[in-house]
Amino acid sequence: DAGVTQSPTHLIKTRGQQVTLRCSPKSGHDTVSWYQQALGQGPQFIFQYYEEEERQRGNFPDRFSGHQFPNYSSELNVNALLLGDSALYLCASSLRSGAQYFGAGTRLSVL
Amino acid sequence: AQSVTQLGSHVSVSEGALVLLRCNYSSSVPPYLFWYVQYPNQGLQLLLKYTTGATLVKGINGFEAEFKKSETSFHLTKPSAHMSDAAEYFCAVSVDSGGSNYKLTFGKGTLLTVNP
């Protein structure tokens, strides 16, 4: 049974560019959450998707947007990249009120 | 709003010694509590969780944690450390509203070093 998979594993972009990160949830899970983990910090909640709708959002600007597809997979989009967006982006999936299971993450470097 | 404080950004123990990683939480409603482990260049792996019921929770790899409401604590312990336990450990809190699973709020993490 495949766990949570994220792509790509690493990404290098320059300031001002746009990026799309992808996540496939664990089989049977219907909820996807995205987190940003800066170096040396704990993960920070970006937003959560359920039934293709954003259900809750953390303290992140509108440059961060997402989408959930009918098969429950999800994308995270970041526009107008800043140097400070460099981080590990983690996707977690869950089944409604169950525990969240994380993927290995996408390491984004903004130059 | 919920918050988590992990006491000690770095804990060092000898192999075979007791591991104790401290976590205190703040929540205005009954919390769900979690411990995750992160190995270098990897994602987070769930060690254990407390939702309701028994306050002593057993997890994977010999770890356990006890929910103490009066102390607002959820400390992680392991009787005997192994070299393979060296990693970063995160405590997290969530609340369940209407059967929905909302965001995890994480602590800043504790780096565990195990010395031979």
The owner of tokens 């944690």 is: B65
DSSP string computed for A9-30: SEEEE-TT--EEEEEEPPTT--
Question: A4 vs B102: CB contact, 8 Å cut-off?
Answer: no
pLDDT tens readout for residues B13-57: 999 999 999 999 998 888 899 999 999 888 899 999 998 888 999
The pLDDT value given to residue B29: 85
Give the list of residues 6+ apart from residue B56 with CB closer than 8 angstroms, or none. Answer: B64, B65, B66, B67
Chain A interface, best mutation among B35, B42, B44, by max A CB count within 10 A = B44
Spatial separation of the C-alpha atoms in residues B24 and B107, rounded to whole Å: 9
Contact between A74 and A23 under an 8 Å Cβ cutoff? The reply is yes
Q: Is A66 on the interface with B (CB under 8 A)?
A: no
Give the list of residues 6+ apart from residue B99 with CB closer than 8 angstroms, or none. Answer: A96, A97
Which residue numbers in chain A have pLDDT < 50?
A: none
Average pLDDT over chain A, rounded to an integer: 94
Q: Which residues of A touch B49 (CB under 8 A)?
A: 99
Q: Which residues of A touch B101 (CB under 8 A)?
A: 31, 48, 94, 96-98, 100
Contact between B89 and B77 under an 8 Å Cβ cutoff? The reply is no
Nearest-CB residue to B104 (from A4, A97, A100)? A100
Contact between B82 and B37 under an 8 Å Cβ cutoff? The reply is no
